[in-house]
């Protein structure tokens, strides 16, 4: 079997179970691709032995019929998840060399389900960014290219995950999404990714960015693979106080692209003046595809949409400044102790050396908006607007079951293009942030290629806990988009 790395998660699982190929063959094939793909810089740490170890377990239990839901499936793990005995850095210098003595709940669930780990995937530092350029370990390069031949951004922050999946360096991976970090990189690289309802996946053992927004999710090439992965990842965890104590539905079994009886809303505020005409055209196609699947389509209004981005860029940095206070040179990773320095000097030197520029920017903004004199003007106000944004969605649900929007305002841009202007970078999140602020499940699926040959994504947003509805509408889009494009191998 030469093309094992082109198989989906479902195909690997079923092929291993049927004995068509062994799990070891699959892991070996992916381990080889991970090596070949080093030019993409998608992995910070490679763990080929872990992939083989899980594969051997799968092959050993196959005959006794004791296979688990992900037996024989090797995965990439975003390096925001703490993995026992394997360096976990959040792509930062301050956590370089940090080797957790514990396993995050989500990764533990995946290993318990039989999956193996190919390695730890690169990301924007502390998941702050939209292009992967803030990683201390260097940017990820998208496997996609346009005619300019320039290196393109794979999106962020889960850009190692998106690049690795689209380049076939893993069949699927974990991601995390605080304001769009699963959906935007998925859109940029022609793959799918779902951010479930806030609280579905435990945050325990995930390096915290903005705790009221952070949510783990899955990234893969098909909607079905996302359903399979998410089912293994989700579930109540008493170790996370915000974990939802709700049963995890059988999302894979519940997949259906028949949308009869469903109403899909098109939020008119997501069509700003100057929206890229190719994205607008794809959105219109998406509307036609959902109608074809049996859905009724109506226009809805989410009037506070324009405030979502500024609200997010107050709340997320505020929480980040608090969460990142723990990195002081005492407990984890880096310690910078200048000669003769006292404790305060050590804190300052460690943090100055250990955090990148974007992380420092967020800490400063966050500290400012939480400071005694400005707390009410910024943080309290942002929390109130967040409630209004959530209320917009509640009102929309009176008229529809799901929403369809573009995922991002552009296709992948060139590395370096937006680096000098943080505000231009933040605009990437304009369509993804509202669902994050409201804690709603949302998914990006590839809809087609633009005129430059780069992928564009469509986003489905659903009601809280209705991942099934989101997956099903996404499946209806996937079936009609027929997206089979993949990047040509140049690496
Ligand atoms: N791009 C957004 C940010 O920089 C979202 C990041 C994320 O979802 N982790 O904050």
Check pocket membership of 458 for ligand 1, CB cut-off 6 A.
Answer: no
Given 78, 195, 224, 463, which residue is catalytic?
A: 78
Nearest to residue 249, comparing CAs of 295, 212, 293, 196? 196
- Helices 9-18/48-62 angle, 10° precision: 40
> How far apart are alpha carbons 93 and 285 in whole angstroms?
44
Residue the block writes with tokens 């809805």: 300
Count each helix (H run) and each strand (E run) in the chain, helices first: 16, 11
112 CA to middle of ligand 1, Å?
29
Phi, psi (5° rounding) for residue 117? Answer: -110, 125
Label residue 52 exposed, middle or buried (CB < 10 Å: 0-12, 13-18, 19+): middle
Check pocket membership of 366 for ligand 1, CB cut-off 6 A.
Answer: no
Residues 209 and 319: beta-carbon distance below 8 Å: yes
Residue 220: beta bridge partners? 172, 192
Of 156, 409, 439, best ligand 1 pocket probe by most atoms within 8 Å of the beta carbon: 156
104 CA to middle of ligand 1, Å?
20
Given 142, 157, 444, 474, which residue is catalytic?
A: 157
Please state the separation of Cα 11 from the chain's center in Å.
Answer: 23
Residues 191 and 220: beta-carbon distance below 8 Å: yes
Structure tokens at 389: 């944004």
Check pocket membership of 162 for ligand 1, CB cut-off 6 A.
Answer: no
Give the pLDDT confidence score for residue 272 in this predicted structure.
Answer: 87
| pLDDT tens, the chain, 491 aa long | 459 999 999 999 999 999 999 999 999 999 999 999 999 999 999 999 999 999 999 999 998 889 999 999 999 999 999 999 999 999 999 999 999 999 999 999 999 999 999 999 999 999 999 999 999 999 999 999 999 999 999 999 999 999 999 999 999 999 999 999 999 999 999 999 999 999 999 999 999 999 999 999 999 999 999 999 999 999 999 999 999 999 999 999 999 999 999 999 999 999 988 899 999 999 999 999 999 999 999 999 999 999 999 999 999 999 999 999 999 999 888 999 888 889 999 999 999 999 999 999 999 999 999 999 999 999 999 999 999 999 999 999 999 999 999 999 999 999 999 988 999 899 999 999 999 999 999 999 999 999 999 999 999 999 999 999 999 999 999 999 999 999 999 99
181 CA to middle of ligand 1, Å?
5
Check pocket membership of 134 for ligand 1, CB cut-off 6 A.
Answer: no
In order of 2, 225, 269, the CA distances from 70 in angstroms are: 21, 11, 41
Please state the separation of Cα 399 from the chain's center in Å.
Answer: 29
């Amino acid at each position: 079997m030469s093309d094992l790395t082109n198989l989906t998660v479902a195909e690997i699982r079923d092929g291993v179970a049927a004995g068509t190929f062994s799990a070891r063959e699959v892991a070996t094939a992916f381990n080889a691709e991970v090596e070949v793909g080093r030019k993409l810089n998608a992995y910070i740490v490679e763990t080929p032995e872990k992939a083989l170890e899980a594969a051997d377990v799968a092959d050993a239990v196959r005959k006794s019929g004791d296979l688990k839901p992900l037996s024989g499936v090797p995965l990439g793990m975003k390096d925001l998840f703490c993995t026992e005995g394997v360096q976990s850095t959040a792509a930062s210098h301050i956590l370089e060399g940090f080797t957790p003595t514990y396993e995050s709940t989500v990764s533990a669930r995946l290993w318990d389900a039989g999956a193996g780990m190919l390695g730890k995937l690169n990301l924007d530092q502390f998941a702050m960014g939209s292009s992967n350029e803030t990683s201390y370990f260097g940017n990820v390069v998208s496997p996609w290219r346009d005619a300019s031949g320039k290196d393109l951004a794979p999106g962020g922050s889960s850009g190692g995950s998106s690049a690795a999946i689209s380049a076939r360096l893993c069949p699927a991976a974990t991601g995390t999404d605080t304001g769009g970090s699963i959906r935007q990189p998925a859109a940029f690289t022609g793959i799918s990714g779902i951010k479930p309802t806030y609280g579905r996946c435990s945050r325990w053992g995930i390096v915290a960015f903005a705790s009221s927004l952070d949510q783990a999710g899955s990234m893969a090439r098909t909607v079905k693979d996302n359903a399979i992965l998410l089912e293994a990842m989700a579930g109540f965890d008493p170790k996370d106080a915000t974990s939802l104590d709700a049963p995890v539905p059988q999302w894979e079994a519940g997949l259906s692209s028949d949308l009869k009886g469903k109403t899909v809303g098109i939020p008119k505020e997501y069509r700003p003046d100057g929206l890229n005409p190719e994205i607008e055209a794809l959105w219109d196609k998406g509307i036609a595809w959902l109608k074809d699947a049996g859905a009724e389509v109506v226009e809805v209004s989410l009037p506070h949409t324009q405030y979502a981005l500024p609200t997010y860029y107050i709340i997320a940095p505020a929480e980040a400044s608090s969460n990142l206070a723990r990195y002081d040179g005492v407990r984890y990773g880096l310690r910078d102790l200048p000669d003769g320095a006292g404790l305060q000097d050590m804190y300052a030197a460690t943090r100055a050396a250990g955090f990148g520029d974007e992380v420092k920017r967020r800490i400063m903004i966050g500290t400012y908006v939480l400071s005694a004199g400005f707390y009410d003007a910024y943080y309290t106000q942002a929390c109130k607007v967040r409630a209004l944004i959530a209320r917009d969605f509640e009102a929309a649900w009176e008229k529809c079951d799901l929403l369809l929007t573009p995922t991002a305002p552009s296709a992948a841009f060139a590395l370096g293009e937006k680096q000098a202007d943080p505000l231009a970078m933040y605009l990437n999140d304009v369509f993804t942030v509202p669902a994050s602020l409201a804690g709603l499940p949302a998914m990006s699926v590839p809809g087609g290629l633009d005129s430059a040959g780069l992928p564009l994504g469509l986003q489905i947003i659903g009601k809280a806990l209705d991942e099934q509805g989101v997956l099903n509408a996404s499946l209806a889009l996937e079936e009609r988009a027929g997206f089979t494009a993949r990047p040509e191998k140049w690496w």
